Amino acid sequence: MAKPRGTERTVDAAELHTRVSELLAAHPPGDSPPDGFLRARFDAGLAWVHFPEGLGGLGAPRSLQPVVDAELAAAAAPDNDPRRIGIGLGMAAPTILRYGTEEQKHRFLRPLWTGEEVWCQLFSEPGAGSDLAGLRTRAVREPGGGDWIVDGQKVWTSSAHTARWAILIARTDPDVPKHQGITYFVCDMTDPGVEVRPLRQITGEAEFNEVFLTGVRIPDAHRLGEIGDGWRVAQATLMNERVAIGGMVLPREAGMVAGPAAAWRERPELRTPELHDRLLTAWVDAEVARLTAERVRQQLAVGSPGPEGAGLKLTFARLNQRISGLEVELLGEEGLRYGNWTMVRPRSVDFYGRDAGYRYLRAKGNSIEGGTSEILRNIIAERVLGLPAEPRTDKDAAWKDLPR
């Protein structure tokens, strides 16, 4: 069980080193099944060291997580394939930790972290993407305080075709303003009322999906937060999502800038003074973004992410699109090639993989997924810079009375 408040103790790097050594001695990576090793790592408190004891952590400073990760990587220990389970790690887990009951935390966090259960996010809808609070998916509770019955449609759902669970927001009260009548749930993706259909992208693959919910039964025990308080819970998810996307841990000259930087060094025949200036500017901007993301991750050690994550996500999209376009220009005709138009259903999101043509096309989605760049600019203007909010005529009207 998680440690009660008031009984916290200090965990330092020396203790973490000891715990890592004990884990490796009891479960040698070369001799242990990966799933078994990951479960043992979670139980030893070395999954998320800043999480409470009993929930994959030790209540240690978040800044010590790299110490654990580096030692385990040096020992060739298996990881949990974070790209495949990124939605669970970056969005579902911090929301469950903050708003879940003790039963929910103990039920969901361990298989989420080990990758035994993949998660997806059922938020956006046709007609309710940028204006997420306008969502139409309904959850109606059975008489006598029974289960919730959910009907509606969600869209742009990454990993829905591989997910076991979903974080879901639905309208539970249409008679109040749209931000007040939303409730947050955990949805079982194996329910017979859940239908997942692929959405083919410009890259030719289908990592996104549309999801149809027809009479999906969700027990009240799978509700996160209070009834009608789903918007506040969802904000915690969205802020973590923006940091998860825009604040990825990357070494210097990694990510989108790696391709054109390598081409510049290895292909001198491609060089021109104009492209040199543009590449150097992009390299500097990418490094500034990387260091800023590191600073935001350090701030997370003392609290939850705030609106600054919107800046990270906005910069991530802008840089990726600019640098991927530069790479295509740098490579000339070769940059126009695209290696594979085959319809595939990837198990994970890949922002940087494959060839330059793929990266150029895939980057177009960066300014939409995880919050559109237009919405993120509003968040930065209002919540970071303190500028006046845009005039809104629908904030106090009941959702049912809003024009469709």
Collapse the DSSP code of 21 into the 3-class scheme (helix H, G, I; strand E, B; otherwise coil) and give the result.
helix
CB burial string 157-168: b at 16+ within 10 A, e below = bbbbbbbebbbb
In contact, 19 and 45? CB cutoff 8 Å: yes
- Given 71, 125, 210, 241, which residue is catalytic? 241
* Residue linked to tokens 């947050």: 184
Residue 362: Cβ within 10 Å count: 23
CA dist 380 and 255 (Å) reads 24
Give backbone dihedrals phi and psi of 148, rounded to 5 degrees, phi first.
-100, 135
Give backbone dihedrals phi and psi of 273, rounded to 5 degrees, phi first.
-60, -40
Residue 179: Cβ within 10 Å count: 18
Give yes or no: 241 in active site: yes
Among the listed residues 33, 27, 106, 116, the one whose alpha carbon sits nearest the alpha carbon of residue 72: 27
Active site (catalytic) residues? 241
